[in-house]
Chain A
Amino acid sequence: MTTILTNPLRVGLRQERVISPQCIVIFGASGDLTHRKLIPALFELFRQRRLPSEFAVLGCARRPWSDEEFRQKMGDSLAEQVAEHPRAWDAFAQGLFYEPVDLQQPEHLVRLGTRLEAVDRLRATRGNRTFYLSVSPEFYGSGCRALAGAGLLADPERSRVVIEKPFGRDYASAQALNKVVQACAKESQVFRIDHYLGKETVQNILVLRFANTIFEPIWNRNYIANVQITAAETVGVEERAGYYESSGALRDMVQNHLTQILALTAMEPPGRFDPEAIRNEKAKVLQSAHLAREDEPWKCCVRGQYAAGGSRAQPLSGYRQEPGVNPNSTTETYVAMKVFIDNWRWQGVPFYLRTGKRLPKRLSEVVLTFREAPVHLFDAAGGAPTPNQLILRIQPDEGADIKFEVKAPGSGMRSRPVDMAFSYDESFGEPSDEGYVRLLADAMLGDPTLFTRSDEVEAAWRLYTPLLELIEEAPWQLPVHPYEARTWGPAASDNLLAEDGLIWRRP
């Protein structure tokens, strides 16, 4: 991408919504997510003056750090930004505090309550508190119980809790966790985070569909032949082997990120732009979705696992050779599947979902392929006319393309496909906020639009239950096909589409 001068007139104009005085309490403050994502996101909000002066961060973890040590460690991890904006960091760091807390120890919660009152007085944060559970998933339920037990979630207007993914391991565990969480707090206080929804381009699916009249009339089974949703990564498992071995691509990517994109792509228009109206529609469409062959799920799903590959100059290990991975692992690093949505809009339209690690490109996109013209009047340069496609590029090179046929120059009447492209870079030229910046701001604003509601989470898990059960009970029916690293997945995945006379789009 070419270097683009920032728009000097744009500075300071992203302050439309104002966050109330606030104390954000981060459990797991000594963990990776805090210094890699959360504190940088909060510092970015601070620099953009989107945080009020009455703001505090209270880091909580088991380590016996002091306020000063916490500030120092956070500053060290943001060394580059701190060096660039030293005065802003000094001001921001004054609002950083630390309290050693073990959520399993009731007396620690009592002490936390006292400390929060002190922070409230010191920083005038008015009792508005956002509790961020950046802890191991097995502590989500007990963490909520501990907070509720200490009375810290008692005021539904002024306290809320943010829960990281994964929310459960399957439908049953998600249901059980929802029960625990809902016993501790009202649904309006619970913010289940999926950082994919923080991406500008994911949100743009809503705007593209519902702020324009040209798309919605053709956004249905009458005009759309199939939909492909892809999230491809070039990286391998990296340092996450411990987590990934027990989750795999289905739990790590499909159940949350891809399913959220599916919901936004397929949902009905909400009556108004209101968090509950939007989440109602997302939940409804997920409740209508099902695997193409629920009775024989192995026929509509393919699992894969990357094997060694790369080039001679840059050889890449296979998944089973990665550090921390079981040499006989059957965890999938690639999954592709076919889903149907049983409603008036989408009946009979296949949705193909795929995600994988060590694929040739890093990209996420939604491709809507339209039905062919009923009669071919013209010769096509490629033999047959290429179906129209609308491609929503979620990352990188965010934007959208429309593919359509035009007359090829010359004396004949041959058609050929061309692209009409919209690019965020070319139109706006400003990098979008990182997903956590948007989502943390929304959580503190109490705006749940971009967070998943309990019924959405459960519907998403229920959609994949036949697959999860099959993997659990009869894994041989859904084998893990090896694929060479830096290729587009196993051949079986191509066959999944070939059965319908289709191919995956090669981006």
Chain B
Amino acid sequence: MRPQALRLTRSAPPAPHPPRAMSTQLTLQAPLEVPPAEVTPYLERLWHDGLEGSTGAATFTLLVWDPAWLEQQLVRIGRVDGPITGLDRADVLDAAREIVTLVGLPPSTAPMDPRLAWAVGQQPGSHAATDLRGRTVESAISSLTPRRLITLAPTLDDGHPLETLVAAYCPLPEDGGTGGAACGDVVVLRGGMGAMKQGLGLLQSLVGNDLPCWVWWNSSLDEPPEMLEALAPPPRRLVIDTSLGDPRRCLEVLVDRIDRGQALNDLNWLRLRSWRESLAMVFDPPSRRDALGRVVQLDIDVEGEHPVKGLLLAAWIADRLGWHLVASESVAADVGHGIAAEFQRTDGATVRFRLMPVPVGVPKAHPGAIVGLRLICEPAGRPPLCVILCSESGGCMRLESGGMASMELAEEVVPLPEESEERELARLLGGGHDTTNPLLAAAAPLAAELLPSAAP
């Protein structure tokens, strides 16, 4: 089989609705299907003969676990049109929000909540669509010219045999391509879960050891752990999202991987950036610094019942201020359960912490988004200071109520991040580290400790 070199060409977005980030999409010309056993020899021939004179970009390998269950299910029941892309799509989120109550889930359920994909999976439907996963690439990622982009695209049909698609590519020069020699190649492994396990055998030779390898687990952490284990052994750099999956499982994966010394990045942690920045900004004036040593109460409200993001925020604050966790328990809340904990400050005084789920009309895409934060400090010789941070998309009346008339009030609105998952990922890939961010590494175990072992 004669190898074919392809070139990324600019084209209209494949979906009828534009992607959420409204960014330029680069679409590959259709990759060539080759038998699984032929993939590695084909690529060797491609670089040796077909692309003579080109060694490809000395960049990195990106391995993506991209089941896109929600998108696949919504396409299957006819709620959104194909093709299936695996990209952030506004129409998928809109359709997900519309269907939440129809499938019997609470209105606060976030569109990306894995329970929703499962519930949609129980609905009848058999619409089919072209599957372009792995072929459409966010330009922020393709401009980094990954040397090899491997996408594992499991299908709803468990019995779907393994298909392997291969192409060489280069972005257009204006998007960072060389304009001449090929930059890298794309490999798509598609099939049912059984086929995916079969495809694992190919990966070691495809990933190689010469270049850094990033693994983006673009799915729930509740999925079979053996797949995550197989795809992301250290020293591959792992990107996960701890907003997706059972909270305990999410925190276990986070802590376990950090303990194993793996470079771990958590998109849920990255989405905390504006909250951390807003809180730090309040205490930038040195006149307020001493109040940080006198915190007596911390309250965080989150959307729905996924506490991980709130716990990571609390754990980051506790770690930065040197608090020691004394006890943590589950408490009843208006909606589900909250978490109450007690910390000890460095001077021995007590800090009370509450994390409460609150119902929201239009939840954000990911479960457990922060609604608001309240921090009360009692600095010596001054009136107490109450800091309230509110999400720009909603109020935080619960935190603003009661007993603050005598306090100095510092209230800020926290902007919502505007970047898509792919753009966040591109930031990581563009300047990656082979170690975990030390702030995340310090906060993760504390967040896991904060999660009570059982509901009351």
A129 to chain B, nearest CB (A): 12
Q: Is the CB of A53 within 8 A of B279?
A: no
Instruction: Report the bound CA distance from A306 to B89 in whole Å.
Output: 69
Partner of A429, one of B176, B285, B434, B437: B285
Q: Is the CB of B438 within 8 A of A12?
A: yes
Q: Is the CB of B285 within 8 A of A11?
A: no
B-side contacts of A121, CB under 8 Å: 58, 210
Does B212 count as interface, using CB distance less than 8 angstroms?
yes
A-side contacts of B279, CB under 8 Å: 9
Partner of B427, one of A4, A18, A126, A428: A18
B144 nearest CB neighbor, chain A only: A20
Q: Is the CB of B439 within 8 A of A11?
A: yes
Partner of B58, one of A120, A425, A428, A430: A120
A430 nearest CB neighbor, chain B only: B284
B-side contacts of A18, CB under 8 Å: 427-428, 430-431
A471 to chain B, nearest CB (A): 47
B436 to chain A, nearest CB (A): 11
Does A466 count as interface, using CB distance less than 8 angstroms?
no
Q: Is the CB of B432 within 8 A of A53?
A: yes
Near A by CB (< 8 A), chain B positions 256-303 give: 273, 276-277, 279-280, 283-287, 289-290, 292
Does A7 count as interface, using CB distance less than 8 angstroms?
yes
User: Quick one: given A426-B285, A428-B284, are A9 and B59 in contact (CB under 8 Å)?
Assistant: no
B72 to chain A, nearest CB (A): 32
Q: Is the CB of A426 within 8 A of B280?
A: no
Does B317 count as interface, using CB distance less than 8 angstroms?
yes
B274 to chain A, nearest CB (A): 10
A126 nearest CB neighbor, chain B only: B59
Residue among B57, B176, B292, B431 having the largest count of chain A Cβ atoms under 10 Å: B431
Q: Is the CB of A8 within 8 A of B285?
A: no
B-side contacts of A5, CB under 8 Å: 286, 289-290
A197 to chain B, nearest CB (A): 23
Does B69 count as interface, using CB distance less than 8 angstroms?
no
Q: Is the CB of B285 within 8 A of A124?
A: no
Q: Is the CB of B211 within 8 A of A8?
A: no
Q: Is the CB of B284 within 8 A of A54?
A: no
Q: Is the CB of B437 within 8 A of A427?
A: no
Instruction: Report the bound CA distance from A8 to B59 in whole Å.
Output: 35
User: Quick one: given A21-B431, A49-B433, A155-B178, are A429 and B289 in contact (CB under 8 Å)?
Assistant: yes
B286 nearest CB neighbor, chain A only: A429
Does B435 count as interface, using CB distance less than 8 angstroms?
yes
B273 nearest CB neighbor, chain A only: A13
Q: Is the CB of B284 within 8 A of A7?
A: yes
Instruction: Report the bound CA distance from A21 to B292 in whole Å.
Output: 37
Partner of A12, one of B287, B321, B431, B439: B439
User: Quick one: given A11-B320, A120-B58, A429-B289, are A49 and B437 in contact (CB under 8 Å)?
Assistant: yes
B318 to chain A, nearest CB (A): 11
Does B217 count as interface, using CB distance less than 8 angstroms?
no
B-side contacts of A13, CB under 8 Å: 273, 276-277, 280
A-side contacts of B289, CB under 8 Å: 4-5, 7, 429
A211 to chain B, nearest CB (A): 15
Instruction: Report the bound CA distance from A427 to B57 in whole Å.
Output: 46
Which residues on A are within 8 Å of B, measured CB to CB?
4-5, 7-13, 18-21, 49, 51-54, 120-121, 124-127, 155, 157, 425-430
B-side contacts of A157, CB under 8 Å: 176
Near A by CB (< 8 A), chain B positions 117-152 give: 144
Q: Mark B3-47, 1 if CB is under 8 A from A, else 0.
A: 000000000000000000000000000000000000000000000
User: Quick one: given A428-B285, A429-B285, are A8 and B320 in contact (CB under 8 Å)?
Assistant: yes
A3 to chain B, nearest CB (A): 10
User: Quick one: given A11-B320, A157-B176, are A52 and B287 in contact (CB under 8 Å)?
Assistant: no
B-side contacts of A49, CB under 8 Å: 433, 437-438
A-side contacts of B65, CB under 8 Å: none
B-side contacts of A425, CB under 8 Å: 286
Instruction: Report the bound CA distance from A150 to B340 in whole Å.
Output: 65
User: Quick one: given A7-B280, A429-B285, are A124 and B60 in contact (CB under 8 Å)?
Assistant: yes
**9 shortest A-B CB distances, which residue pairs?**
A18-B431, A429-B286, A9-B280, A53-B434, A52-B431, A8-B320, A4-B286, A10-B280, A12-B439
Instruction: Report the bound CA distance from A428 to B57 in whole Å.
Output: 42
B427 nearest CB neighbor, chain A only: A18
A-side contacts of B211, CB under 8 Å: 124
Instruction: Report the bound CA distance from A426 to B285 in whole Å.
Output: 6
B-side contacts of A8, CB under 8 Å: 292, 320-321
Instruction: Report the bound CA distance from A19 to B427 in whole Å.
Output: 9
Instruction: Report the bound CA distance from A18 to B289 in whole Å.
Output: 29
B177 nearest CB neighbor, chain A only: A157
Listed A/B pairs (11) with beta-carbon separation below 8 Å:
A5-B290, A7-B284, A11-B320, A20-B431, A53-B433, A120-B58, A121-B210, A124-B211, A427-B284, A429-B284, A429-B285
Q: Is the CB of B276 within 8 A of A54?
A: no
Q: Is the CB of B435 within 8 A of A124?
A: no
Instruction: Report the bound CA distance from A426 to B284 in whole Å.
Output: 9
B-side contacts of A21, CB under 8 Å: 59, 431-432
B174 nearest CB neighbor, chain A only: A157
A-side contacts of B290, CB under 8 Å: 5
Instruction: Report the bound CA distance from A13 to B438 in whole Å.
Output: 12
A-side contacts of B434, CB under 8 Å: 53
A-side contacts of B285, CB under 8 Å: 426-429
User: Quick one: given A7-B280, A9-B276, are A20 and B430 in contact (CB under 8 Å)?
Assistant: yes
Instruction: Report the bound CA distance from A12 to B440 in whole Å.
Output: 10
User: Beyond the given A5-B286, A20-B430, A126-B60, could you list 4 further A-B residue pairs with CB under 8 A, ordered by the A residue number?
Assistant: A4-B289, A9-B280, A54-B212, A124-B212
Q: Is the CB of A127 within 8 A of B58?
A: yes
Instruction: Report the bound CA distance from A405 to B158 in whole Å.
Output: 80
User: Quick one: given A9-B280, A13-B280, A426-B286, are A126 and B58 in contact (CB under 8 Å)?
Assistant: yes
Residue among A10, A120, A121 having the largest count of chain B Cβ atoms under 10 Å: A10
A-side contacts of B317, CB under 8 Å: 9
Instruction: Report the bound CA distance from A51 to B431 in whole Å.
Output: 7
B311 to chain A, nearest CB (A): 17
A8 nearest CB neighbor, chain B only: B320
B-side contacts of A127, CB under 8 Å: 57-58
Instruction: Report the bound CA distance from A52 to B427 in whole Å.
Output: 11
Q: Is the CB of A52 within 8 A of B284?
A: no
Instruction: Report the bound CA distance from A12 to B57 in whole Å.
Output: 31
Instruction: Report the bound CA distance from A52 to B60 in whole Å.
Output: 13
B173 nearest CB neighbor, chain A only: A157
Instruction: Report the bound CA distance from A13 to B272 in whole Å.
Output: 11
Instruction: Report the bound CA distance from A427 to B321 in whole Å.
Output: 20
A156 nearest CB neighbor, chain B only: B173
B212 nearest CB neighbor, chain A only: A124
B221 to chain A, nearest CB (A): 24
Q: Is the CB of A52 within 8 A of B58?
A: no
Residue among B57, B210, B285, B439 having the largest count of chain A Cβ atoms under 10 Å: B285
Residue among B210, B277, B279, B284 having the largest count of chain A Cβ atoms under 10 Å: B284
Q: Is the CB of A52 within 8 A of B432?
A: yes
A394 to chain B, nearest CB (A): 20
Instruction: Report the bound CA distance from A155 to B292 in whole Å.
Output: 50
Q: Is the CB of A53 within 8 A of B435?
A: yes
B148 to chain A, nearest CB (A): 13
Instruction: Report the bound CA distance from A53 to B432 in whole Å.
Output: 6
B-side contacts of A11, CB under 8 Å: 320, 439
